[in-house]
Amino acid sequence: MAKPLRIGLIGSKFMGRAHSNAWGQANRFFDLPRDVVLDTVAARDAETLGPFATQWDWEGWTTRWQDLVEDEAIDLVDVGTPNDLHAEQALAALAAGKHVACEKPLAGTLDDARAMQRAAAKSKGKTFVWFNYRRCPALALAWQLVREGRLGRIHHVRAHYLQSWGGPDMPMTWRFQKKRAGSGAHGDLNAHIVDLARFLTGDEITEVHGAVTRTFVKERVIEGGGGTRKGGAGGKSGGGKGAGGTQRAAGRTGRSDVDDAALFLASFKGGAVASFEASRVASGHLNRNVIELNGEGGSLRFDFEQMNDLWFHDEALGERTGGWRRIVATSAAGKHPYVENWWPDAHGLGYEHGFVNMAADIVRAVAGRKPTLPLPDFADAYETQRVLEAALIAAKERRAVKLSEVR
Ligand SMILES: NC(=O)c1ccc[n+]([C@@H]2O[C@H](COP(=O)([O-])OP(=O)(O)OC[C@H]3O[C@@H](n4cnc5c(N)ncnc54)[C@H](O)[C@@H]3O)[C@@H](O)[C@H]2O)c1
């Protein structure tokens, strides 16, 4: 067995938990070329960090993320912090010769993303971006079916990612501040579906034809800002919706200057047309990450709220027996990607498994082995960021934007 892969994680909240779980589970469920060691976790809150480290089996913790970068024993720095910190932390880790796994979107701004992509191109460390949905078995199967030509030439990509936690009761967090997040639902949710569209089709978007962004909730309560909150959401970050009261909080508010919804139309180099829609105020939709591909030979549809299913229409079956069929994409170990590493057939998987599957593939890639499916690196995520930027320009300037304009 090669020497262990020692991980340093920055961030201990939503993604901190998802990544801690993923690194901790990878060797338990996958036969990997290196053992993963949860070396040190860094985050800001010293009071909660100790118990967090104990709960998730981290050997140590620190409130200085620079400690991870400076620690020669750490091989990979995992960045799970707000978007405005990705560049600084990833660049420092790459400069220290580490591998870096960074959360999505690659950065809050295209300038940061470009700097990261350039640094990655020159670094000896490998880079990864946590586009975790690629590794849901149903989407991994979709990727395989497209590669096998089961859809033929693709005409349409139709994707939406709808959530509803961003209503007026949700207090101010970094996610509602442009200087910290870059954008709102757009960078948060469209980032995922643009990545999926590029990943599944293997094609690149060449033009955004038009876009609209909208901020519905312009003021949000600042927790600890001098007022009292009654009812309302519990202030959980990352999409959790709290008790949902009707009374509004009193007290100091701050301006929310990111989009709550962002929609755009685009076309691919290969000729396919695409629509993307993201919202954090789409009531009734909790985590509806949906992508559909329509091709000459058939169609595929995925909805994360039924994440173990892949819907497939095969034109070859003809009018009489054709139509949409539900494939339980966790039902055939050895034939459905990742499934042999988990439970008996059709014993469904959940959100966290995408992260574990990805952690396992990262370990393989770092060890020079082939991952199950292509992993997004900084260069790949930069292409997604260019599409996001083109849509923001299209919305602001009310015009079509060619990707060649956005470098
Ligand atoms: N892949 C996904 O599906 C997914 C889901 C949610 C969030 N994300 C991404 O993950 C990242 C983090 O999101 P989150 O929801 O976990 O945020 P969060 O607010 O829940 O947690 C942020 C963490 O960063 C830490 N942090 C902030 N500033 C820091 C600093 N200066 N030094 C060290 N630590 C610092 C905080 O202490 C906290 O632990 C974002 O980029 C977000 O877009 C991805």
In a domain, 50, yes or no: yes
CA of 238 to the centre of ligand 1 (A): 8
Instruction: Clarify whether residues 152 and 111 are in a common domain.
Output: no
* Domain harbouring 257, CATH code: 3.30.360.10
* Domain harbouring 84, CATH code: 3.40.50.720
Q: Is 369 helix (H, G, I), strand (E, B) or coil?
A: coil
Q: What is the CA radius of gyration of the chain?
A: 21
Q: Whose CA is nearest to atom 35 of ligand 1?
A: 43
In a domain, 367, yes or no: no
CA of 81 to the centre of ligand 1 (A): 3
Tens-digit pLDDT string for the chain (407 aa): 689 999 999 999 999 999 999 999 999 999 999 999 999 999 999 999 999 999 999 999 999 999 999 999 999 999 999 999 999 999 999 999 999 999 999 999 999 999 999 999 999 999 999 999 999 999 999 999 999 999 999 999 999 999 999 999 999 999 999 999 999 999 999 999 999 999 999 999 999 999 999 999 999 999 987 544 433 333 333 443 333 333 454 579 999 999 999 999 999 999 999 999 999 999 999 999 999 999 999 999 999 999 999 999 999 999 999 999 999 999 999 999 999 999 999 999 999 999 999 999 999 999 999 999 999 999 999 999 999 999 999 999 999 999 999 99
pLDDT in tens, 133-171: 999 999 999 999 999 999 999 999 999 999 999 999 999
Instruction: Clarify whether residues 291 and 167 are in a common domain.
Output: yes
- 62 close to ligand 1 (CB < 6 Angstrom): no
Instruction: Clarify whether residues 159 and 126 are in a common domain.
Output: no
CA of 104 to the centre of ligand 1 (A): 10
**For the CA of 86, the nearest atom of ligand 1:** 41
In a domain, 379, yes or no: no
**For the CA of 133, the nearest atom of ligand 1:** 3
Instruction: Clarify whether residues 114 and 216 are in a common domain.
Output: no
CA of 268 to the centre of ligand 1 (A): 32
In a domain, 120, yes or no: yes
- 163 close to ligand 1 (CB < 6 Angstrom): no
Instruction: Clarify whether residues 158 and 283 are in a common domain.
Output: yes
Backbone angles phi, psi at 338, to 5 degrees: 75, -15
Specify whether the CB–CB gap between 21 and 356 falls below 8 A: yes
Instruction: Clarify whether residues 299 and 273 are in a common domain.
Output: yes
- Which single residue is written with the structure tokens 């595929």? 300
In a domain, 376, yes or no: no
Which range of residues forms the domain containing residue 16?
Answer: 5-133
- 296 close to ligand 1 (CB < 6 Angstrom): no
Q: How many domains does the chain have?
A: 2
In a domain, 355, yes or no: no
- 101 close to ligand 1 (CB < 6 Angstrom): no
Asked which of 79, 114, 133 is the last residue of a domain, the reply is 133
pLDDT for 237 equals 38
pLDDT for 244 equals 36
CA of 56 to the centre of ligand 1 (A): 17
In a domain, 363, yes or no: no
Backbone angles phi, psi at 209, to 5 degrees: -85, -25
Ligand 1 pocket test, pick from 9, 12, 15 with the greatest ligand atom count within 8 Å of Cβ, gives 15
Tokens representing residue 375 in the block = 């992993």
Instruction: Clarify whether residues 190 and 237 are in a common domain.
Output: yes
- 314 close to ligand 1 (CB < 6 Angstrom): no
Instruction: Clarify whether residues 226 and 339 are in a common domain.
Output: yes
Tokens representing residue 103 in the block = 């959360």
- 103 close to ligand 1 (CB < 6 Angstrom): yes
- Report DSSP letters for 299-310, one per residue: EEEEEGGGTTEE
Specify whether the CB–CB gap between 100 and 125 falls below 8 A: yes
- 264 close to ligand 1 (CB < 6 Angstrom): no
CA of 174 to the centre of ligand 1 (A): 9
Asked which of 83, 115, 133 is the last residue of a domain, the reply is 133
- 41 close to ligand 1 (CB < 6 Angstrom): no
Asked which of 98, 133, 168 is the last residue of a domain, the reply is 133
- 238 close to ligand 1 (CB < 6 Angstrom): yes
- 182 close to ligand 1 (CB < 6 Angstrom): no
- Report DSSP letters for 31-79, one per residue: --SS-EEEEEEE-S-HHHHHHHHHHTT-SEEES-THHHHH-TT--EEEE
- 16 close to ligand 1 (CB < 6 Angstrom): yes
Instruction: Clarify whether residues 154 and 127 are in a common domain.
Output: no
Instruction: Clarify whether residues 206 and 318 are in a common domain.
Output: yes
pLDDT for 235 equals 35
Instruction: Clarify whether residues 114 and 235 are in a common domain.
Output: no
Backbone CA torsion sign across 37, 40, 45, 49: positive
Q: Determine if residue 145 is left, alpha or beta; phi over 0 gives left, psi from -120 to 50 gives alpha, anything else beta.
A: alpha
CA of 229 to the centre of ligand 1 (A): 24
- 143 close to ligand 1 (CB < 6 Angstrom): no
In a domain, 368, yes or no: no
pLDDT in tens, 261-316: 999 999 999 999 999 999 999 999 999 999 999 999 999 999 999 999 999 999 99
Instruction: Clarify whether residues 101 and 186 are in a common domain.
Output: no
